[in-house]
Amino acid sequence: MVDETPLATSANQPGYGTAGSPSTNVSSVTGRSLLTIPLVCDGSGNLDTYGPAIGGDVVTVVLAQGTLAATTDITLTGETTGQPILTLTNVTAGGLWRPRGPTHDLTGVATGALDAVGVVGRVHIVVAQGGPAGAGTLYLFVEAA
């Protein structure tokens, strides 16, 4: 379920991450959803969790660094297919990324062109070296398929 209120007034939706993970906020406007996913590392500086189920293209990823260490590694993949979405290594500051993957023609041959990465299911989020109890926020902009 996605709340249809405008982005400026996002509402809470229960998180679908690991036990004890914080809620994930989801907002939608005109076919584009904003998923707000809190990242809170364990005492070893790691996190392995999932965002809510989606069906669409991940068009933009934004990280608010918060207290995550300057050595933070973040990997996003599609749970169903294992399709890589974005891999960030030794992130020292928040930022904005527009991940792209290869496109294919009708026979399955790669065209050399790139487009937003499609995901059906949950986004698997792995954080390593985030620092003990390091915390930040990940924002995913998803365009409906």
Percent of the chain surpassing pLDDT 90: 77
Q: Is 103's pLDDT higher than 90? A: yes
Q: Residue 139: which residues within 8 A CB-CB, separation 6 or more?
A: 34, 35, 36, 37, 60, 61, 62, 63, 64
Question: Residue 145 has what pLDDT?
Answer: 75
Query: Whose CA is closest to 137, among 4, 18, 35?
Result: 35
| Confidence grade of residue 47 (pLDDT, cut at 50, 70, 90) | very high
Q: Which domains can be identified in the chain, with CATH numbers?
A: 7-101+113-144 (2.60.120.380)
Mean pLDDT, the chain, whole residue set:
85
